[in-house]
A and B are shown apart, each in its own frame.
Chain A
Amino acid sequence: MNTGKRQKQRKVLLMGKSGAGKSSMRSIVFSNYVAKDVRRLGATIDVEHSNIKFMGNLMLNLWDCGGQDGFVENYLTHQRNHVFGSVAVLIFVFDIESREFQADVVSYSNIIRALEECSSGAKVFCLIHKMDLVQARLRAQLFEERADYIRAASEGFKETVDFFPTSIWDQSLYKAWTQIIYFLIPNAATIESLLQQLAEVIDARELILYERTTCLMVTHVTRGTEAQNPFTDRFERISSILKTHKQSMAKHTGIPAGSANFAEMQIKTGRFMFFITRLTENTNLAASIPPSEQVFNAARVNILLARPRFAELDIASRPRPGIQQAFAHSASAESDAVAGGGRGGEGEGDGWAVEGFVA
């Protein structure tokens, strides 16, 4: 881990053969593209830099590196130090349909060697992409085979490299990126423990923290029987549901997809209650709680109260203004909210003509 100041900027290299799907992936995850829109993307020339603010305390410095041979040659020779210096994460994308898999791996090895030389502390993620093009029953096996082969060529990163099967057409893309992001977040453990506390207090079955713009999961807390939920991919699924909804809202209201955020979404049924609300500037909190109005309302108030503490974690790398101050702040907010709680019952006496309504 780097020092405090460095934590804010993490350099992420996105590499792989030309046409493997690097830019498509980036557009979907970070720029609110729909999967079918990526056909419009052209080839990436040289390197496209983008700075993505994630969670306030993390700036992703994403280098989308064009994969044509000429560019790669250039990265490895003239720009070697420039490209491979101080890298936090290398994401290498393999096309499962590639006809020259061997050649891809050779190119991968070259890149890995350069990476090892310039930033040996980096983490490598390999995404085996376009998995949707493989027949469902062959997927797992093919993925394992490819992963083993690539691992063997991973030189000094043999032990640490992680593999994910991905496709832009399902939630597997979110699954992979969630893991990558989790690795990059500097204070994940702190956030997690705070979330755990919050879950205990509001008696939530599950709390999931999402980043707002990308809808990627930051972390989650699961309690009690919810751990047996048969939908083990529910976090990615919700990511994908949220993203789709965001696009649909943007289309209808005509506001750009980047800012078509909802303030709150509630779903109440007899089996569970669920809501997603804004937690901090950059995060949304999804909570699944037992079906009870009482618990539901209490949970909403408590989450409101917890906001300042999460907001503080969001900007962790700054010198802290003193944790006591934050506590004092949340204590005063607490009394405000209790006073506000009594107000809920009003609003019926507005004199609306309700009786005459039945036809």
Chain B
Amino acid sequence: MDSPYLHSPALSQHSPSDYDREQDEDPQAGSSRLKPAAQLTLMRYLQDLPDADIPPSPVPPRFHTGRLPNSKAGDGKPRLLLMGQRRSGKSSISSVVFHKLPPSETLYLETTTRIKKESMHSFMDFQVWDFPGHLDYFDPAFDVDNIFDEIGALIWVIDAQDEYLDAIMRLNTTILNLQHSYPNINVEVFVHKVDGLSEDYKSDTFRDIIQRVQDELSDHGYENAPVSFYQTSIYDHSIFEAFSKVIQKLIPQLPTLEALLNSLCSNCHIEKAYLFDVLSKIYIATDTSPTDIGSYEICSDYIDVVVDVSEIYGWDRPSENGHKENPEIDETGNNDAESLITMERKGNNYLYLREINKYLALICLMGDDSPAEKKALIDYNVGVFQQALGQVFPRAER
């Protein structure tokens, strides 16, 4: 019958330039970079192992990942300490963020009775130490040096739905102690479980906590202590956003990354660009335009879409030898996963995702004024960005 369709070889005559260009951009594609093989998916399973082995690397890291003012061992693994009163939600946070436990399941978590150490192997290695709430760390029986050496950040979790005066008192003691011996440790206060509070009450509580902590600190003459505050909940994206900011402070290359992203955004008319760690959905950098939680959410949900679809169709296919596929078409797509969503309404705005390496993905929210035809340009510029990142972040090459 008379088919209205074009056959694929016919089309190839019309656009050979597409392929040439692609190869020019990317001379060492396939050689240095990892095979794509739906890594997005595979890594997800790796993540579920409580203590996955560190992927072997012949190249020792050239840069310190993380600010390690007190490092003796110098193994380059910043620690995140999770502390706070008992039942304030520390283990829930670590399970939801790093183990992708559905928030509703955290009800069944047991009380933590001993220090739980977990290593994360992602774009940078770090350890998360989940502390039981009832311990007094500055008891002389504890090896304080061992705990606070090498830590990148201390995350103090306060249950906003509970009586928080005790928690603040302990937090203040801890900060004052730390200021004395380890003044460079970032203290990150998570005012947690805010999902259950009304808008007004939430901001009142938040302000009250900040006020109480800062008053105490200035009374002791530490006005500029590195203490930051976040409102978090495991039932929405706020906990991921807060973690993103905590981690970003530990990346010495952050200013460079931001400059790169800024320049990418202005060259391609990108509204907002995020560099995501695919596993944890923590973003390690974004351009310096103001962020709102909405654009973070949409990017994070978008990763889910791409990962889920990759899981469905990225299965191991038996070799397609006997398949009647056209032998000329032996080319194997792009190496890095790439995705694009164009919206029907509101003109041209769309989402763009590109896998940068095993761990990271770049996600761009495009503004209304960036027509989809410029995709070739964006592809090219993102390629440039990818190379630059390889130089900034040695980890990114692996």
Q: Which residues of A contact B (CB under 8 A)?
A: 197-198, 201-203, 205, 224-225, 228-231, 234, 237-238, 241, 244-245, 248-249, 251-253, 255, 259-274, 278, 288, 290-299, 301-302, 305-306, 309, 327, 330-331, 333-334, 337-338, 341-342, 344-345, 347-348, 350, 352-354, 357-359
Contacts and interface: CB of A to CB of B under 8 A. Distances in A.
Given A269-B38, A347-B377, 9 more contacts: A238-B309, A245-B305, A248-B302, A251-B294, A264-B342, A269-B314, A305-B6, A350-B377, A354-B380
Q: Which 4 A-B pairs have the closest CB atoms?
A: A291-B333, A270-B36, A345-B17, A298-B8
A252 to B, nearest CB: 4
A327 B2 CA distance: 9
Contacts of A225: 317-318, 320, 323
A265 B314 CA distance: 17
Contacts of A253: 343, 345-346
Contacts of A342: 14-15
Nearest to B330: A292
Contact of A260 (B3, B5, B345): B345
Given A234-B312, A348-B376, A352-B377, A265 B339 contact: yes
Nearest to A212: B344
Contact of B338 (A237, A268, A352): A268
Contacts of B317: 225, 228, 271
A78 B114 CA distance: 68
Contacts of B376: 347-348
Interface stretch (B135-143, B158-166, B382-390): B382-390
Contacts of A203: 8, 325-326
A286 B285 CA distance: 33
27 contacts: A197-B5, A224-B323, A248-B301, A249-B343, A252-B294, A252-B298, A260-B345, A262-B343, A264-B342, A266-B340, A267-B310, A269-B314, A270-B333, A270-B337, A271-B37, A288-B313, A293-B333, A294-B12, A294-B329, A297-B18, A330-B4, A334-B6, A345-B17, A348-B377, A357-B388, A359-B256, A359-B263
Given A197-B3, A267-B310, A334-B4, A358 B377 contact: no
Contacts of B345: 253, 255, 259-261
Given A228-B318, A347-B376, A298 B7 contact: yes
Contacts, number: 237
B331 interface: yes
A351 B297 CA distance: 34
A345 B315 contact: no
Contacts of A341: 11, 14-15
Interface centre among A252, A306, A334 (most CB of B within 10 A): A252
A245 B211 CA distance: 40
B342 A263 contact: yes
Interface string B1-42: 011111110111011011101100000000000011110100
A350 B373 CA distance: 12
Contact of B339 (A267, A270, A278, A291): A267
A359 B388 contact: yes
A274 B14 contact: no
Contact of B11 (A260, A294, A333): A294
Interface centre among B11, B337, B384 (most CB of A within 10 A): B11
Contacts of A357: 263-264, 267, 381, 384-385, 388
A264 B341 contact: yes
Contacts of A334: 4, 6
Contact of A263 (B256, B331, B343): B343
B208 interface: no
Interface residues of B, number: 80
B177 to A, nearest CB: 40
A67 to B, nearest CB: 28
A348 B35 CA distance: 28
B286 to A, nearest CB: 16
Nearest to A237: B312
A299 B8 CA distance: 7
B339 A268 contact: yes
A202 B329 CA distance: 13
Interface string B358-398: 00000000000000011011001100110110001000000
B332 A270 contact: yes
A255 B7 contact: no
A290 B313 contact: no
B387 A358 contact: yes
A61 B264 CA distance: 51
B315 A231 contact: yes
B51 interface: no
Contact of B4 (A259, A309, A350): A309
B335 interface: yes
Contacts of A288: 313
B295 interface: yes
Given A267-B339, A291-B333, A344 B267 contact: no
A348 B21 contact: yes
Contact of A271 (B15, B267, B314): B314
A209 B176 CA distance: 63
A345 to B, nearest CB: 4
A304 to B, nearest CB: 10
Contacts of B8: 202-203, 294-295, 298-299
A350 B375 CA distance: 12
B351 to A, nearest CB: 9
